[in-house]
Structure 1
Amino acid sequence: MASAPQQPQLPLFFNDLMPLNSKDHANYKSRSLDSAPWLSKAHAIPLTVEEFVQAQRNFPIVFSTGEAPLPLALMGLNEGVNTFVDENGKVTDPVYIPAYIRRYPFMLAKLQRDSDQLSLCFDPTSDAVGEFDEGRPLFENGEAAEATQQILDFCQNFEGAAQRTQAFIAQLIENDLLMDGEVSIQADGNDKPFLYRGFKMVDQDKVRELPAAKVEEFNKNGLMMLIHAHLFSLDNMRVVFSRQVQQGWKPEAIAENGAANV
């Protein structure tokens, strides 16, 4: 099911969350890794609206179910299947990497519930941050180093994009444009098609029925472009399905009708 992928109290991928500060982390560095084991079993990655145009070239873009739908880039069609990385989490093909992945192990978070102030935090269990010989220093002379400022800027831009994404979702809901999704894929050697469900998608019929004034509004504010990017991306369902088959994954199917949830 394409429900918002998250762990209790912690976002997807995060095992712990610690505020970054110059006292406790004076000698910490940030380093790049060529693999991400935590990504190997993740099939649905949160996406922001700024990424729709780039992401739709590689992934189906769908929306999670529930009261607060979330755009998701599907890197696999079944739970625990990521067709774009190997078992060690190393990217196997040139592909767009969602900002949510590139942000890890950092994020902005509230330290106090009654405050709107966000602080730069990180996952201390990550191998990308620590007291290493190699890497970029996070602090110099007790002050935030250039690497930390760049990380902070990226996280702030991500938060801004997340807010614009929420505004986009609000428009879809307000205009009743989301519906339960279903994609049928006929696989060679199978009599019955595989039906993938458990996600939301834009209702094309309702988009066509929008009043002219609303269409003009959506064209001017860029929402129609995002809707089209989402709809175009759904063709990638079959591409990702084929990748799963080529990699030896057996699509799950309910015995009677061959259906499976994304």
Structure 2
Amino acid sequence: MNTLSMPSLPMFYRGLQSLEPKRHWGFGVRGVSNFSAVAKANAVPLGISEFALAARSYPIVFGPAVSAGIPVAVTALVEGQNLFVDADGQWLPETYIPGYLRRYPFWMRVDDEGRSASFFFDPYAEKIVPLECDATARPLFDFRGQPNTALGEIVNFCRQCLQDEQMTQRFMAALERERLLVQRQAHIELAPGQYYELGGFRVVDMDAYHRLPDATLADWVRQGYAALIAVHQWSMTHNWQHLLALHQQQTSSPLTQTEPA
């Protein structure tokens, strides 16, 4: 297996291999999604274009600055238990699946100038297979070695994800520049007398946000940043209790309250 050596792999990826027509002609992509790779993840990266949809199910918070401070959807109250993935690796029905997971096992990387892109996949995902091994797999290349419809759709989606990441980076830079992100913990009573503290995330300090100069606030309204902050706040108000309800259903523990401190 020829796996690209990288200084650090994207979250949840175990390896990256370049997708090449000569090497992968006669290969296809399996259509059935399986999320077993994130069955123990308590957070999944988000892009700002996803906030409105993700806010229906997840608290949206921000990672610590040391990890580039990306927005994330909280998917668990305790370590090692993703409440949205069942024993068969299927995502909870009628719940928004973050684009980061829908893109997996593919990955697109651009050069420092942003002019050219390289395309990879995680070979350990076992989603790219020889066509003779799975008759249901969609061919990646035609008989001339040109991208087929399936690969074209995948590449377009990866480009959309990449554009969203770039917009998200600008939003995060604005939050960091104004020093609006503060550390928080969620204090959880999973059962009477059984407490758990979920930390390692940041939220927008609304007092500091409301003290921003009028010109900055007006600019953020025009850029859509004010709406994103409102969605972030709404998601936390409504979804910590939703996670606790899911935890209760899956562990049969009594339902109690939780909120960020």
Fold equivalence (TM over 0.5)? yes
Give, in whole Å, the separation in 2 of the partners of 1:200 and 1:101: 22
Q: Quote the residue 1:4 is aligned against.
A: none
Q: Quote the residue 1:56 is aligned against.
A: 55
1:147 corresponds to which letter in structure 2?
A
Q: Closer, same or farther in 2 for the Cα pair 1:249/1:124, shift >3 Å?
A: farther
Is 1:97 matched with 2:101? no
Q: Residue 222 of structure 1 is aligned with which of 221, 224, 230? A: 224
Q: Is the 8 A contact 2:44 2:73 kept in 1?
A: yes
Larger helix percent: 2
Q: Is the 8 A contact 2:187 2:195 kept in 1?
A: yes
Q: Residue 160 of structure 1 is aligned with which of 160, 163, 175? A: 163
1:10 corresponds to which letter in structure 2?
L
Q: Quote the residue 2:3 is aligned against.
A: none
2:167 corresponds to which letter in structure 1?
R
Is 1:174 matched with 2:177? yes
Q: Quote the residue 1:36 is aligned against.
A: 35
- Superposition map of 1:200-211 within 5 A: 200-211=202-213
Give, in whole Å, the separation in 1 of the partners of 2:120 and 2:253: 39
1:208 corresponds to which letter in structure 2?
H
Q: Closer, same or farther in 2 for the Cα pair 1:126/1:184, shift >3 Å?
A: closer
Q: Quote the residue 1:79 is aligned against.
A: 79
1:170 corresponds to which letter in structure 2?
A
Q: Measure how far apart 1:129 and its partner are.
A: 1.1
Give, in whole Å, the separation in 1 of the partners of 2:196 and 2:13: 33
1:11 corresponds to which letter in structure 2?
P
Give, in whole Å, the separation in 2 of the partners of 1:113 and 1:170: 18
The answer to which of 60-69 and 168-177 deviates more is 60-69
Q: Is the 8 A contact 1:183 1:196 kept in 2?
A: yes
Give, in whole Å, the separation in 2 of the partners of 1:26 and 1:124: 15
Q: Measure how far apart 1:183 and its partner are.
A: 3.0
SS at match of 1:181: strand
Give, in whole Å, the separation in 1 of the partners of 2:20 and 2:125: 17
SS at match of 1:182: strand
Give, in whole Å, the separation in 2 of the partners of 1:212 and 1:114: 35
Q: Is the 8 A contact 1:76 1:240 kept in 2?
A: yes
Give, in whole Å, the separation in 1 of the partners of 2:151 and 2:209: 43
Q: Which runs of 5+ in 2 are unaligned?
A: 1-5
Give, in whole Å, the separation in 2 of the partners of 1:234 and 1:183: 10
Query: Residues 21-44 of structure 1: CA distance to partner in whole angstroms, max 9, x if unpaired?
Result: 110000010121143221211221
Q: Closer, same or farther in 2 for the Cα pair 1:246/1:52, shift >3 Å?
A: same
Q: Residue 189 of structure 1 is aligned with which of 189, 192, 207? A: 192
Q: Measure how far apart 1:193 and its partner are.
A: 5.8
The answer to which of 161-170 and 181-190 deviates more is 181-190
Q: Aligned pairs, how many?
A: 245
Give, in whole Å, the separation in 2 of the partners of 1:179 and 1:76: 21
Q: Is the 8 A contact 1:40 1:88 kept in 2?
A: no
SS at match of 1:219: helix
2:96 corresponds to which letter in structure 1?
Y
Is 1:212 matched with 2:214? yes
1:234 corresponds to which letter in structure 2?
M
Q: Quote the residue 2:64 is aligned against.
A: 65
SS at match of 2:22: coil
